[in-house]
Amino acid sequence: MSNRVRLKKAPIVEALIDLMLGPQHTVDLKNLKILADQLSGEFPKCDEIRIAQLKLPPSGSGIAPEVSHLPPVGYKLTSSNGSEVVQLKTDGFTFNQLPPYQDWDYFFRRFKHLWELYQKTAKATELRRVGLRYINNLQLPLPLKFLKDYLAAPPVVPAGMPQEISDYVMRVVVPLADISGGAIITQALGRGPHSGQLPLILDIDVFTERAIKTADKTLWDLLLKMREHKNNIFYKSITEKTVELYS
């Protein structure tokens, strides 16, 4: 576990806020297209969001699997430099911030602005799920002898076995009672190594699945609590040696 300090070179490769509307609420696709057109100055690239359906034949029948594409469920908008993505969906809204990531204040301000534009079209009164996710790509210097030098809870190989690790994925879900939700914490080796560094992914997904009203400050207060949990998990997952790499 490390002490909290503001990192000058945060290893964030993606931050996103994902909101799912209440089960009784669906936004008309035509209205979402109108909103997408209104945002085309900021987000010139617009792609349909579609869901593919795979139908598997009986085993041994010799019939090939059948793939069908359902009607669009929304639009994915991308900024001209590719750093921001907005997903306008019939059942929800997602804002993705890709590099360069500035800071929470800017990220949250952009999310709030775009969500309020979506909400003018959606007019949703309730959400059923809220997620805040940060994906970090830690570039650990090689040669690296022990992952525990950089991670507070690295994978453990049983004694008596080769201690080298060529790949791994580790995922845990922890409950967070104060937000009636939890956090999905994933560690995985990234692709590489590159330029004498070992990429390691630390993915933190804080979420709650319950009815949340949109008419008051409940959502904003909830997201601030989620951010606090995200930061707490991040700093408890790394060591002081990792902090030094990004300070």
Per-residue pLDDT tens listing for the chain (247 residues): 667 778 888 999 999 999 999 988 999 999 999 999 999 999 999 999 998 787 777 777 777 777 777 789 999 999 999 999 999 999 999 999 999 999 999 999 999 999 999 999 999 999 999 999 999 999 999 888 889 999 999 998 898 888 788 889 999 999 999 999 999 999 999 886 677 888 999 999 999 999 999 987 899 999 999 999 999 999 999 999 999 999 8
Q: Which pLDDT does position 131 carry in this prediction?
A: 98
Q: Is 156 left (phi over 0), alpha (psi -120 to 50) or beta?
A: beta
Whether pTM > 0.75 for this model: the answer is yes
Q: Which pLDDT does position 195 carry in this prediction?
A: 76
Q: Which pLDDT does position 38 carry in this prediction?
A: 98
Q: Which pLDDT does position 163 carry in this prediction?
A: 76
> Cβ contacts of residue 49 below 8 Å, gap of 6+?
72, 73, 74, 75, 76, 87, 89
Phi/psi at 24 (5° precision): -95, 5
- Give the sign of the dihedral formed by CA 15, CA 46, CA 74, CA 118: positive
Residue 213 pairs in a beta bridge with: 126
